[in-house]
Every structure is written in C-alpha cells, then in structure tokens.
Structure 1
Amino acid sequence: MRVDYYCALTSPWTYLGHARLRDIAARHGAEVTIHPVNVLAIFERTGGLPLPKRSPERQAYRLQELRRWRERLGVELNLKPAHFPADETRAAETVIAARAEGLDAMDLAGRFMRAVWAEERDIGLARTIREVVTEAGMDPGALERAAGRYDANAIRAAETDQAVARGVFGAPTYVVGDEIFWGQDRLDFVDAALEAG
C-alpha cells in the first residue's frame, strides 16, 4: 500500500497532519512517498489563491481554525510565525534529495515544518537548511550535492505537474490508489482507505 503525499513545507495544515500521517501509514505498513510540490504554482493552475489575496473574512477564519486544530491535536504552532511565508524552494529540493538518497525524507520534512511553525526559523535561509539537515543526522554538504546531481528543481517541477494532472489543488493532499484526500482533516478517511487495502 502506498500514499502519495503532496505537501508544502510552509503549510500549517501540512504541519498539523504530518506526524499523524506517519503514524497511520506505520500502523498499516503503508509506504509514504513525499512530494514537496510548488503549491503556489498549483493554485495558479487550479483556481486557488495565496493567503494574502484571500478575503479578510477567509483569513480571519483560517486563524480560528488553526487555533482550534492546534488545541485539538496538542501540537505546538505559532499562529503568526515570524518567517511565514518563507521561500521553501531549497528546503523542498533538499527533501527531494534526501528521498532520492534513501534517507528519511519524511523526518526531514517534518523538521522543516516545525522550524517554521514552532521554532521561529527561516527555512528560506541556507544556514537554517544546513542546521535542520544536521539536526536530522544528515550531511548538509552531501545533500546539497545530491540535489544538484538529481536536479531536484526539475523533479519538483515535474511532480508539481503530476499533482495537477492527478487532480491535486492544495496541500496537504494524500492520494491512495485513485482516491484523493485533501487536507489534514481528511486523515481519518486515509486511515480507512488503508484499512480497506
């Protein structure tokens, strides 16, 4: 069983569901393939709006929902982190490189998300990326070289195209077989889909 996991490293919703997805997959013996896509490019192609362009009402409601889910899940999350939005391009490419090298890309991605939403760190900075990679027990220099060797930028662009072709329009999105589940609040359905095999 496999879950294709289309995510954005600076998405609070991806962050809120990340650890739960790992737990669900482990419980069912399912493989998770992480795809840190360019969600802004997906929005442009599927009718979504980046946060600053959403109405004040939608922005205010988002904060209420983040607070509710933070409390429900007991997850540390700053509602207005110091470094959001951040340019996640290099961090995403680093996750892709880790995946290609057979390292724990899910753990690394989770650390990048936590850096944004709980630790007030800027994952757009090369220094922060190297620190997070080191904290994950990986070699920053080796992953930088791997990102170039695999052309992680091109992989990310191709996987963004793939996401749109599969019907993905936001993050996080979990795909099990032909079924698409959008949002961390759909993880119960992902659990059920994996249970059903």
Structure 2
Amino acid sequence: MNRAIDYYFSAPSPWTYLGHDRLLALLAAHRREVRVLPVDFNRVFAASGGLPLPKRAPQRQAYRLLELRRFAEHLGMALNPEPKYFPADAAPSSLLITLVAHADGMDAAMRLSGAVFAACWREERDIASDGTLAELLDETDLPTERLAQSRGAETQARYDAHTQAAIDAGVFGAPTYIVEGEMFWGQDRLDFLQRRLSV
C-alpha cells in the first residue's frame, strides 16, 4: 500500500502557505513520505464547479480576507492577505516545483514550495517572474538551471498529469492531502490528518 501523502496545491494559494510548515512537521513526526503535486486549479475548478477568486461573489471574497487574517493570527504567521503580486500566474512556479520534484527529489520540492509560498504571502515578491524564481532557487540551494529546464514539454506533461490525477481523485480545492485514498481538504483539516496518521 502507498503510504506517501499526496499533496495537491496551487502555488499562489494562501491556505497552502498557512499549512505548509505544519504538514512538514507531520511528515517528520509520522515518518511519512510526500508526493509534491502542484496542479492547475483553473482546470480543477472547471471540472468541479468551483470559481476562481475574481469571479466569486463579493461576500465570499470579503469573508476570505477575514478568515485569512484570523488564521494568520491564530497560527502566529506573517501574512499579507492582499499582497502586491496577486493574483499571480501559477504556471511558472508550479512547473518549476514539478521539475525540482522530478530532478532533485521531494524534500527539495518541499523546500522550494515553502519558499514560493512565503515569497508571495509574506515577502511581497512576484512568484510569476523569472527573476524571483531564480532567486528562490539560489536561496534554497538548488541549481538555477532548473528554471530553464522547467519550460520543457516533459515537465508540462507531468504538471498536466498531476492536474488530471487531482480531478480523478475528486480534488476541488487547495491544499488537499490524500493518504491511502482518504481526502483531507484545507489546512484547517491538518488536525484530522494527524489523527489519521496516528492510527
């Protein structure tokens, strides 16, 4: 049986940022491996009936900002709920993380993912820009040539496959964690994931 946790996310997701370090702690505590799986949530929303943020009702957008502030304060995490470079094109960072996962392993992909999330939500950096992504590779001790390599057809095919796998698994929001076929949606479900891993 596959005991790895499938970690589906959108690179510009604030909720993924809020849960990432806690997921790392769970993986270490329970000696679980992870599969880092960035996906194209435009396709996921189209398949699941979801709406991208700009198309959601004003009431939902306003409540989202309130909840982001609440969770950031609750978790003691720095977060700007309305960062300068948002919404950001998810594809460049997602493709880069996908390539790093394949070329350098899941630990490296988790390290880079955390840096991408923090760059967007804490550091006011543009995660869709080549300059920022090159800096993040350097800051996480990864080869800067990975940026150019991430533009290849094989990496796009892997990203597409992640997205289709998410759709097939019933994923509809980010982040989603799947362990042994059981889905946990949202960073606010990490307590339930911890209980599941403790069984």
TM-score in same-fold range (> 0.5) = yes
The match for 2:138 is 134
Cα distance between partner residues in 2 of 1:144 and 1:123: 12
2:176 match: 173
**Which string of whole-angstrom CA distances, capped at 9 and with x for unpartnered residues, describes residues 97-120 of structure 1?**
111113410010110010000011
Counterpart in the other structure of 1:161: 164
Residue 85 of structure 1 corresponds to 87
Query: How far has the Cα of 1:146 moved from its partner?
Result: 4.0
Give distance in 2, aligned partners of 1:150 and 1:76.
Answer: 36
Measured after TM superposition, the shift of residue 22 of structure 1 is 0.6
Is the contact made by 1:97 and 1:150 (CA closer than 8 Å) also made in structure 2?
no
Aligned with 2:101: secondary structure?
helix
The equivalent residue for 2:14 is 12
Q: Percent identity?
A: 45
Give the secondary structure class of the aligned counterpart of 1:34: strand
Cα distance in 2 for partners of 1:113, 1:92 equals 11
Could you tell me which amino acid in structure 2 is paired with residue 140 of structure 1? T
1:190 is the counterpart of 2:180: no
Amino acid at match of 1:116: C
Given the alignment, which residue of 102, 115, 120 partners 2:119? 115
Correspondence list, 1:143-154, <5 A:
143-148=146-151, 151-154=154-157
CA distance in 2 between partners of 1:32 and 1:105 (Å):
10
Aligned to 2:66: 64
Q: Can you give the 5+ residue segments of structure 2 that lack an aligned partner in the other structure?
A: none
Structure 1 spans left out of the alignment, 5+ residues: none
Structure 1 residue ranges (4+ consecutive) displaced by more than 4 angstroms after TM superposition: none
Instruction: Write the deviation string for residues 1-39 of structure 1: whole angstroms up to 9, x where unpaired.
Output: 310000111000000001100101110000011101011
1:35 maps to 2:25: no
